[in-house]
Amino acid sequence: MQTPRYAFFEGRIVPFAEARISVMTHGFMYGTACFEGIRGYWDERAGALAFFRLRDHYARLHRSCRILRLGLRYPVEELCELTAELARKNGDRADVYLRPIVYKSALQIGPHLNGVADDFTMLMLPFGKYIEAGGGIRCRTVSWRRPSDGMIPARAKVNGLYVNSALAKTEALEDGYDEAIMLTADGAVAEGSTENLFLVSDGTLVTPPVSDSILVGITRDTVLTLARRELGLPVVERRVDRTELYVADECFFCGTGAEISPIVEIDRRPVGPGKVGPVTRRVQALYLDVVHGRHPGYADWRYPVGIP
């Protein structure tokens, strides 16, 4: 994987090699950090990188920080401006992935959060597809459960919580699947290792509710909005049983990295006829049009930064 040229670290832009933390950093020892994953789409005609729903990602970062008692001194608008500055400095004229992180920066033993110093860092690098989903992917329900709100809140994008995603994804990969589906502690469908999940049943889009141990995904919200406004599809957020996946007409993952990734097999059962379905195709095409600025609406979802 390519490494970035510059990073934002300790209040300024520095060469990437200088953005280093101590092994005694609280956030490293205890996973006490929150982050975002954001895509910037390169627009050749405009000579600009368009960050997708940048303000919404930074608003979620602020919410994660409230849960984890992390101080983030930059308001959303300033974070957007810092992002633009870093993008211009890096100068990548290609699709990028942006990773802002707020972390407990004190060199300190003991996991408590109160009274512990924090800091903000961010890096970005050229990034293509996260999942090769052309013909649809194969998934399994893994043995690892999603922690519930009273364990580690999935609503906050906490670095330490990704141990759960790592265990789940590894189990799926080593068993020959492309991605994991995780259940809640009491057995309802939650989400993938880094994606939210939708199913299509009788023309209705169904997705687990925010109270079922999921990250409140920005792509999930994008899909819900586009389905209602542009596709006229009924959408329902409700508890989903595991076996509903086995009888669904279609299934797909969505996320910043995964974009829209069709699922064609779950636990050795074909989803519908075992091919990418028509609703998933419509959602995927529309999503890609919106993020790439080919759709006439939703300009306010794109934050363009001219790259000289």
Interface residues with ligand PMP (CB under 6 A) are 37, 165, 191, 194-196, 215, 217-220, 255-256
Let me know: does 270 contact 264? Beta carbons within 8 Å: yes
Query: For the residues of 207-256, what is the DSSP string, one character each?
Result: E--TTTT----HHHHHHHHHHHHTS---EEE---BHHHHHH-SEEEEEET
Give the nearest distance from C-beta 115 to ligand PMP in angstroms: 29
Write down the residue that tokens 């990548």 correspond to.
92
> CA 50, CA 28: separation in Å to the nearest integer?
31
Nearer to ligand PMP, 85 or 149 (CB): 149
Let me know: does 257 contact 131? Beta carbons within 8 Å: yes
> CA 192, CA 151: separation in Å to the nearest integer?
18
Structure letter (DSSP) for residue 180: E
Let me know: does 43 contact 137? Beta carbons within 8 Å: no
Marked catalytic residue, from 89, 104, 129, 157: 157
Give the nearest distance from C-beta 182 to ligand PMP in angstroms: 8
Nearer to ligand PMP, 36 or 106 (CB): 36
| CA-CA-CA-CA torsion sign (108, 109, 115, 117) | positive
* Among the listed residues 154, 191, 142, 145, the one whose alpha carbon sits nearest the alpha carbon of residue 64: 154
> CA 246, CA 263: separation in Å to the nearest integer?
11
Give the nearest distance from C-beta 106 to ligand PMP in angstroms: 26
Q: Which H or E run contains 169? A: helix 162-174
Active site residue 157: yes
Nearer to ligand PMP, 20 or 228 (CB): 228
Give the nearest distance from C-beta 183 to ligand PMP in angstroms: 14
Give the nearest distance from C-beta 306 to ligand PMP in angstroms: 25
* Among the listed residues 166, 164, 191, the one whose alpha carbon sits nearest the alpha carbon of residue 255: 191
Nearer to ligand PMP, 6 or 103 (CB): 103
Nearer to ligand PMP, 14 or 288 (CB): 288
Residues with catalytic function: 157
